[in-house]
Amino acid sequence: MTDPVRARAGLVEALRATGCGDAVLAAFAAVPRHRFLPDHPVAVAYADDAVPTRIVDGAATSSASQPTMVAIMLDQLDVRPGQRVLEIGTGTGYNAALLAHLGARVTSIDIDEELVASAADHLAGIAEVDLRVGDGALGVPDAAPYDRIVLTVGSWDVRPEWVAQLAPGGRLLLPLTVRGSQLSVAFDLGPDGVLRSDSVVGCAFIRLRGLGAGPAATEEIGPGWSAQVAEGAAPDLGLLARHLTEPGDLLPIGEPLTGADVWDGVGLWLMLTAPGTVRLLTDRADAPPGSWFVPTGPGRSTVALTGPGGCAALVVDPPGVRGFGPGGAAVARRLVGCLDGWVAAGRPHASDLRILAVPSGADLPGPGVVVEKEHTRLIITRAR
């Protein structure tokens, strides 16, 4: 039987090796994660993996997040003792317990009444947290203002309610969808009402439910295939699916790309800068063209460029750019040029971005790629 004390110490040492801050490490050392996952073995509780905790209709609606990602986000949040913190997405209660150990006065809200009840049981005798049942999209106005607001679920937009409930100079941390990528963005609220990113990290979280759910993350384009498209884009996905049945020649590239390159490196770069870009996801991992794409869990994915009469996609087996459809060769050459542009720009990834958020319709505070949401306009530039 796994000893929980030793397992917890091992997790803390693994987090220390990633450069996690001392205060956050102390919180991980103090809070017993296995108490928040009573239905799982101790070894699972202290592994550096996300653990699904609630499944509805075959899909996970809540999970205990990967400890490394939890630590990264707590470092991003930079909680100080005595600060008021609103957590949106209670889950198991573990993150709220960590926040409380960091000295925060925590209010935590979740849309799922059963999750809140189980979190209350988990937190008993470990931490004092003000637990609420409700739609986190609306925040918790009666306990505002907050020095920090943190979402442990993915959000498509920055809700005005969160900004309104943030104290002047406060920080909002959320996994924000930006052109298909989920980015953990720590926004600081300026005196002019503009949210400016302090840090940006790639991430992957279960989506917010309720009023703030936003549009579907992906759209099915055929059996076993789905696509993510940029806000405001409307490619012919049926035609794209047909093109994928007609693979063409492979154009070699200078060096192999990692999964991080394809998703939050050149993939995000293309989604921001190249009209006609889509992300392709498939569970056809055992047959072309899916077998050429980047492994992502049980399936595979890549980024593709659409054009007249065809499309082209980054592939990793073997590495290169492959055209699809009768016009795929020309689109493939254009995609190679986009890839060369990304390399010439220094191979930027998510962490190299600077993001500003202003209310929709407001004047832009500076140049950059503009991503329009329902409530917010994002202005994205290179941080360095």
Q: Which of 62, 63, 65, 301 is catalytic?
A: 65
Q: How far apart are CA 247 and CA 165, in angstroms?
A: 52
DSSP class of residue 125 equals T
Rounded CA separation 47/33 (Å):
10
Residue pair 109/90 in contact (Cβ under 8 Å)? The answer is: yes
Nearest-angstrom CA–CA distance, 227 and 94: 33
CA distance 31 to 92: 13
Q: Is the peptide bond before 318 cis (omega within 30 degrees of 0)?
A: yes
- Strand pairing report for 105-110 and 84-88: parallel
Let me know if 138 is exposed, middle or buried by CB neighbors in 10 A (0-12, 13-18, 19+): middle
Q: What does the radius of gyration of the chain's CA atoms come to, in whole angstroms?
A: 22
> CA nearest 324: which of 249, 227, 230?
249
| Beta carbons of 153 and 109 less than 8 angstroms apart | no
Residue recorded with tokens 């254009």: 334
Residue 63: active-site member? no
Sign of the Cα pseudo-torsion (234, 322, 225, 281, in order):
negative
Q: What's the length of the chain?
A: 384
Catalytic residue positions?
A: 65
